Structure 1
Amino acid sequence: MNLFQLRAFDAVAREGSFTGAAKRLFISQPAVTGHIKALEEYYQIPLLRRTARRVEVTEEGARLAAITRSIFGLVDEAQALLEANRQLLTGRLEVAADGPHLVMPLIASLRARYPGITVNLRLGNAQETLAALLSEHADVAVLTEVEPRNGLHLQPLGESRICALVPAQHPWATQSEGIQLEQLNEVIMVLREPTSTTRRTFDEACLAADVQPKVLLELDSREAVTEAVAAELGIGVVSSMEVSPDPRVRAIPLQGDGLVNHHLLGCMERRRSLRLIQAFFELAP
């Protein structure tokens, strides 16, 4: 079955004339006539009746027109949907992030500029976020300290510094200029699990500086670290981008080498030209 012929017949049935059909399809009138003639001859059935004023469908033509109206009505709906996505009037973006602090302003900017876009955000640790992106369960991801690799497009998003998290009444709490990493040697600490990016950066800096803190607790969330510090179980560490207002604790910058984390916005290289993904990258500072 030739869909071009069916499309021409459908246009004539809708418009009631070959001229109207030609304008609807942006082709010449002889082309429309040729398609209809070929369709009628192939199936040996009259579909249209020409009168002095207009073109009318035959009984069989009316039955076919009911079918083609449904077929090409769905095609028009599909085209409208795709065009709306291309113009970012509608659409859905799957976003993954290893923390809420950088990604939330980006989502807010996207929603302000393109209010028809729906965003699904999944938060996880660094490994989970990268895995979601690589498996294409996420369209874009906010990542920390990710090494370049084939097939992955990365754009710098900013950097943060590792801070010591201390109880509000701790002697270091007033040292806004920061403390030296060496001051944490032999200090009792409560830290995230070793797979945490913040913990890994801190451990590598301590190893390079020959600093050996005493790790009392290993916890699986930033919130748990904050609660442990507030309970005076030890000193914690936190990224400067993840400091939340809490009168019970203070974040003090750590001074030393290797205490900076680099944050990136990533997507799969082969998908970076998709309009919605491009729009999200354009919002990055």
Structure 2
Amino acid sequence: MNLFQLRAFDAVAREGSFTRAAARLFISQPAVTGHVKALEEHYQITLLRRTARRVELTEEGTRLAAITRAMFGMAEEAQAMLEANRQLLTGRLEVAADGPHRVMPMLAQLRARFPGITVNLRLGNAQETLAALLSEHADVALLTEVEPRKGLYLQSLGDSRLCALLPVDHPLAGAADDLAIDALDRQIMVLREPNSITRRTFDQACALVQVQPRVLLELDSREAVTEAVAARLGIGIVSSVELAHDPRVVARPLAGEGLLNRHMIGCLERRRELRLIQAFLGLAA
């Protein structure tokens, strides 16, 4: 079956004229006539009656026109959808992040610029976020302390500093300057699980200066750390990008070596040029 012939017939059936059909298809009128003639001759069927004033459909032509109108109507609908996606009027973006604090402002910017875009956000720890990106369950991901690897495009989002989170009435909570990391030696602490990036960075920084905090509670979320500190169970460690106003606690940036975390936005290198991914990467810039 020749789709060019069917497309020419469909245009004539819609326009009722070979001349207008040619204009619709951006081809010559003899080309339209030739396609329709070839279709009729191949299937030994008369689809159109040509009169001096107009073109009329035969009974068979009317039946075929109902089919081609539906068929090419769906093609036009598909083209409209794809064109809207190309212009970022519509589309769906799968985003993964290892925390909500950096990604939410970016999603707000995306919504303001491209209100027709639908976003699905999945939050997880650093390992889960990277795994979602590498397995293509996410188009883009906000990551922390990820090493470069082949096939992965990374773009810097800046650094954050580790902070000590203290109960508001703790003896170390009063000063406004940075808190030296050695002040945490032998202090009772409530920390994230060992696989957390925040915990790993803190442990490495303590090892550099031989600080030995007393970790009496390990928790699996930032919110749990805040609640534990507010309940005076110990001192917590949080990233500066995760700080939220809470009158029960005070955050003091830590001073020392190795207390910074690098934040990045990433995507698969081979998908980097997709317009929707490009739009999101542009927000980071």
TM-score category by the smaller chain? over 0.9
| Alignment partner, residue 188 of structure 1 | 188
SS at match of 2:172: helix
Find out whether 1:258 has 2:258 as its counterpart.
yes
Paired AA for residue 47 in structure 1? L
| Alignment partner, residue 127 of structure 1 | 127
Distance (Å, rounded) in 1 between the aligned partners of 2:212 and 2:30 = 86
Paired AA for residue 31 in structure 1? A
Preserved contact between residue 176 and residue 253 of structure 1 (Cα < 8 Å): no
Structure 2 counterparts to residues 1-285 of structure 1, below 5 A: 1-285=1-285
Distance (Å, rounded) in 1 between the aligned partners of 2:79 and 2:176 = 58
Paired AA for residue 58 in structure 2? T
Distance (Å, rounded) in 2 between the aligned partners of 1:148 and 1:35 = 56
Give the Å deviation of 1:7: 0.7
Give the RMSD, CA atoms, in angstroms. Answer: 0.9
Give the Å deviation of 1:174: 2.0
The runs of 5 or more residues in structure 1 that have no matched partner are none
Distance (Å, rounded) in 1 between the aligned partners of 2:146 and 2:229 = 29
Paired AA for residue 197 in structure 1? I
Give the Å deviation of 1:49: 1.0
Q: Give the TM-score, by structure 2 length.
A: 0.98
Preserved contact between residue 156 and residue 265 of structure 1 (Cα < 8 Å): yes
Paired AA for residue 43 in structure 2? Y
Query: In the comparison of the two structures, how many residue pairs are matched?
Result: 285
The runs of 5 or more residues in structure 2 that have no matched partner are none
Q: Give the TM-score, by structure 1 length.
A: 0.98
Deviations 1:132-157 (CA, angstroms, capped at 9, x unpaired):
11111111111111111111111101
Distance (Å, rounded) in 2 between the aligned partners of 1:280 and 1:274 = 10
Deviations 1:16-73 (CA, angstroms, capped at 9, x unpaired):
1111111111111121111111111111111111111111111111100000000001
Distance (Å, rounded) in 2 between the aligned partners of 1:83 and 1:209 = 58
Distance (Å, rounded) in 2 between the aligned partners of 1:227 and 1:118 = 33
Distance (Å, rounded) in 2 between the aligned partners of 1:97 and 1:48 = 60
Deviations 1:182-228 (CA, angstroms, capped at 9, x unpaired):
11111111100011111111111111222111110000111111111
Paired AA for residue 71 in structure 2? I
Distance (Å, rounded) in 2 between the aligned partners of 1:253 and 1:229 = 16
Paired AA for residue 275 in structure 2? R
SS at match of 1:204: helix
Percent identical: 76
Runs of 4 or more, structure 1, over 4 Å off, are none
Paired AA for residue 178 in structure 1? D
Distance (Å, rounded) in 1 between the aligned partners of 2:3 and 2:175 = 76
Give the Å deviation of 1:264: 0.6
Task: Pick which of 179-188 and 239-248 moved more.
Answer: 179-188
